[in-house]
């Protein structure tokens, strides 16, 4: 059944909630398999929420095997813009696809900060990912200083508009945006529901300008930044919050599974 979007169509019919775990530089291949097996035991057949785990590159293959026959999808944490070539230490979209990877996190604030990734580079990666049928999870968000100086919406606007430059309407629904205020990542300091919803609604209005309202209504916007089972229900109940990108709480099966259950309860 195709659901035509109209202002009255409930968001849950247009956008399945998505919970993605960003394991960052944690877990050996063996540890990753243990964790994913625990997750699979509880939510491996969950179809009401889309679940994605993003282990480090070195664990992608072993985790892909452990996910076979489950509904859980595999994501990577980064990729290079080029399909192949003399780029020592890098990984291409084609290599990720060959390991059954469906998603790739791009423009995470740690990559912007520690590896000096610019909006222009992130944009090239987004286009390269889409060309290889990888769904990019494009991270945007302001620093504390930017929030305190009132620049939040301007910063997010630049990151969204530059990051998605050249993306076609047809491919835009494969993009996921993650709003991650930098001051909330790994700090235990979560955005209030009002702060998060305000930025999410703003991002959706930008997406509407870029791709038209029906397409914007289909694009998922995740919240990321110290999301935990205790604060997730309120955040996930917001109109424009379609799931979470989870760092710390995705490293333990119990908290990750509880976040999936929180998303299922608000669907
Ligand atoms: C992240 O790094 O994407 C993240 C949201 O981390 P944490 O949940 O630990 O704040």
pLDDT 10s digits, 190-213: 999 999 999 999 999 999 999 999
Which pLDDT score, from 0 to 100, does residue 4 have? 45
Query: Which atom of ligand 1 lies closest to the CA of 244?
Result: 5
Ligand 1 centre distance from Cα of residue 226 (Å): 6
Q: Is the pLDDT at 9 greater than 50, yes or no?
A: yes
Q: Is the pLDDT at 5 greater than 70, yes or no?
A: no
pLDDT 10s digits, 140-160: 999 999 999 999 999 999 999
- State the pTM of this model: 0.95
| Helices and strands in the chain, H and E counts | 13, 8
d(CA 107, CA 30): 27
d(CA 148, CA 19): 29
- Fold annotation for 10-80+92-265: TIM Barrel (3.20.20)
The answer, yes or no, to whether any atom of ligand 1 lies below 6 A from the CB of 212, is no
d(CA 109, CA 123): 14
The answer, yes or no, to whether any atom of ligand 1 lies below 6 A from the CB of 243, is no
Ligand 1 centre distance from Cα of residue 86 (Å): 32
d(CA 144, CA 220): 24
Which pLDDT score, from 0 to 100, does residue 11 have? 75
Nearest to 104 by CA among 142, 135, 69, 127: 135
pLDDT 10s digits, 218-241: 999 999 999 999 999 999 999 999
Q: Which one from 46, 110, 146, 180 is the annotated catalytic residue?
A: 180
Taking the domains of the chain in order of start, what are their residue ranges? Answer: 10-80+92-265
Q: Which helix (H) or strand (E) holds 235?
A: helix 232-236
Q: Is the pLDDT at 53 greater than 60, yes or no?
A: yes
């Amino acid at each position: 059944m195709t659901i035509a979007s109209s202002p009255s169509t409930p968001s849950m019919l247009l956008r399945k909630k998505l919970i993605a775990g960003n394991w960052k530089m944690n877990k050996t291949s063996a540890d990753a398999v243990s964790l994913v097996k625990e997750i699979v035991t509880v939510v491996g057949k969950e179809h009401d929420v889309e679940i994605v785990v993003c282990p480090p590159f070195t664990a992608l293959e072993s985790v892909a095997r452990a996910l076979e026959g489950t509904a859980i999808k595999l994501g990577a944490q980064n990729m290079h813009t080029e399909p192949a070539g003399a780029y020592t230490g890098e990984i291409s979209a084609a290599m990720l696809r060959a390991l059954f990877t469906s998603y790739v996190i791009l423009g995470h604030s740690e990559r912007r900060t520690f590896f000096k990734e610019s909006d222009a580079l992130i944009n090239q990666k987004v286009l390269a990912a889409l060309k290889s049928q990888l769904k990019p999870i494009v991270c945007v968000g302001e620093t504390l200083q930017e929030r305190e100086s009132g620049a939040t919406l301007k910063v997010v606007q630049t990151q969204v508009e530059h990051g998605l430059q050249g993306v076609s309407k047809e491919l835009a629904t494969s993009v996921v945006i993650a709003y991650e205020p930098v001051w909330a990542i790994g700090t235990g300091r979560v955005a209030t529901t009002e702060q998060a919803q305000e930025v999410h609604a703003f991002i959706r209005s930008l997406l509407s300008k870029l791709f038209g309202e029906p397409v914007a209504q289909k694009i998922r916007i995740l919240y990321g930044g110290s999301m935990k089972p205790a604060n997730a229900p309120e955040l996930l109940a917001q109109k424009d919050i379609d799931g979470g990108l989870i760092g710390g709480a995705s490293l333990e099966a119990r908290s990750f599974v509880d976040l999936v259950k929180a998303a299922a309860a608000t669907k």
